[in-house]
Amino acid sequence: MPRRGCYYTAPFSDLKRVLYLKISGIQKASEPRIIPRPSHNVSRADISKSALKVLYRLNKAGYQAFLVGGCVRDALLGLHPKDFDVATNAHPDEVRALFSNCRLIGRRFRLAHVRFGREVIEVATFRGAAAPADGNGNGNGFDSDVAHDEQGRILRDNVYGTVEEDVWRRDFTCNALYYNIADFSIWDYVGGMDDIRARRLVLIGDPVKRLREDPVRMLRAVRFAAKLDFTIDHAAALAIAETRTLLRNVPPARLFDEFLKMFQLGHAQRTFELLRAHRLFELLFPETAEHLDRDENFLRFVERALASTDERVAHGQAVTPMFLIGVFLWAPVTRFAEELREQGQVSDVESLAVAAREITLMQQSRIALPRRFTAPMCDMLAMQPRFEVRRGRRALGFLEHRRFRAAYDFMMLRAEVGEVDRETADFWTAVQTQNQEQRLQTFELSAAKKRRRRKPRRRRSAGQA
Ligand code: ATP
Ligand code: MG
């Protein structure tokens, strides 16, 4: 990972960092520390043309316009930001009025999306400081449009405010730096510059309260720590330990989005280690976690899969979530299939398919895995015994199966940890490069048999269709 550090002058004093006003439950920032353009390394060359267009147009129309969040953080760290978030005092309707290519989205957070071809610039109006006074949604008169559940989780948040209020809504200090298009300075209310330099993730405000408001921030902490090679600040780590079970209250669909970000962006291995270290993994994949604790071979299998996923991402190769989910569920599925066989409930052949379906259903109560991933994943798992059969027509036909490639990659991974013998793995590797004639020999089929004509299928009557 490139490590071009950020640089700037005049360190932010600790006193200033904690200096914010608490007025009737409202947190307000003190004056920001403004880092002028010559004192930081965020250049317009790091910013997408589309984001610049949005910023300039807002600014020209008389609104404040900042880049904020991951893009500023990544640019300071010398990484290439992957998306650009804009924060402004223009209300969503005012943003829409400025851009013909704009759409308003979201209920939980109302946002404007300005589209340029495939690129979308997200424009958020500053959020107001309407923290719940008592953690149960009874606010202070400002939060008529902020809703919390009984654990303090924010359900909806559409109160607009100023930049000094907006800053307290953000999760980590490193994500709360505002790049001002008016003069290219960076506004720092919370000591984010210092924390970036020290490579630490610090939650803004009271860590326990912030995690209660949105338990997904625990996963974000782990994700950023893995991606940026940051340490999770001690207070945040303690707060995670205290509130981690609240992750169970997060809607499964949101966890799937987060799963993709954690495991498909090239830092899966480190994310997994941190999730386990903070005892969060067991809340996301309970069945998997149980097996990991008692089966070292399975742990090695999972680690190999994570490493190869990261390698693929690093080489720009495609990755599909179904593969990794299949890996996570493999031990629970095989164990359950064994139980089913012992109980004589299903045939040997069917046991894996049935177990895969059942375990997937259990997992879906935690993380909403879309069917377009679970269906091929179940096939991939259920097909594993087919690699044991190396002769005959059915074995030859396996090569043409549309899931063969995924099943093969999965089998190779099993071979790496000694679950499949080398000879079998080599056989299926070699046979893929053979021509049809060689394959007939390999699968011990005679050419004549191969050309046998199929019986014409009986037509289905309309009633069966
Ligand atoms: P990346 O895009 O690299 O994943 P990011 O920090 O930009 O990281 P986004 O999800 O794009 O993350 O969010 C943009 C910004 O919005 C964050 O930097 C943070 O300031 C704020 N934010 C996002 N999600 C949350 C959250 N759950 N709680 C508080 N603030 C959040
Ligand atoms: Mg972002």
Cα–Cα distance for residue pair 72/89, rounded to 1 Å: 19
pLDDT of residue 42: 96
Instruction: Give the span between the Cα atoms of 253 and 314, in whole angstroms.
Output: 27
In this prediction, residue 261 carries a pLDDT of 96
pLDDT band at residue 404 under the 50/70/90 scheme: very high
Q: Which of 3-17, 177-191, 247-261 has the lowest mean pLDDT?
A: 3-17
Please tell me the residue having the least CA distance from ligand 1 atom 1: 70
Nearest CA to ligand 1 atom 26: 171
Rg over alpha carbons for the chain, rounded to the nearest Å, is 27
Q: Can you tell me the mean pLDDT for 63-88?
A: 96
Give me ligand 1 centre to Cα 84, in Å.
Answer: 10
Task: Pick the catalytic residue from 46, 74, 85, 188.
Answer: 85
- Please state, in angstroms and rounded to a whole number, the distance separating the CA atoms of residues 223 and 281: 12
- Cα(220) to centroid of ligand 1, in Å? 8
CA 100 and chain centroid, separation: 31
* Residue owning the nearest CA to atom 30 of ligand 1: 170
pLDDT value, residue 138:
33
Active site residue 85: yes
Region 38-60: mean pLDDT is 96
Low-confidence winner among 36-50, 55-69, 330-344, 451-465 (lowest mean pLDDT): 451-465
Predicted pLDDT of residue 390: 84
Separation of 52 CA from ligand 2 center, angstroms?
A: 16
Tens digit of pLDDT for each residue in 4-48? 334 333 344 444 444 443 433 344 557 899 999 999 999 999 999
Measured CA to CA, the distance from residue 24 to residue 130 in angstroms comes to 10
- What are 191-246's pLDDT values in tens digits? 999 999 999 999 999 999 999 999 999 999 999 999 999 999 999 999 999 999 99
381 CB burial (10 A radius; 0-12, 13-18, 19+):
buried
- For the segment 315-337, the average pLDDT, to the nearest whole number, is 96
Global pTM reads 0.85
Tell me how far apart the alpha carbons of residues 221 and 215 are, in angstroms, rounded to a whole number.
10
Q: What is the reported pLDDT for 458?
A: 64
Confidence of residue 107 (pLDDT cuts 50, 70, 90): confident
Predicted local confidence at residue 443, as pLDDT: 82
Rounded to whole angstroms, what are the CA distances from 404 to 113, 126, 170, 411, 412? 40, 50, 45, 10, 12
Q: In this predicted structure, what is the pLDDT of residue 150?
A: 76
Residue 20 is classified by DSSP as E
Ligand 1 — pocket residues by CB below 6 A? 69-70, 83, 85, 170-171, 175-176, 214, 216-217, 261
Task: Tell me the CA–centroid distance for residue 70 and ligand 1, in Å.
Answer: 6
Q: Give pLDDT tens digits for 124-168.
A: 999 886 543 333 333 333 344 566 777 777 665 668 899 999 999
Q: How far from the centroid of its chain's Cα atoms is residue 145's Cα?
A: 28
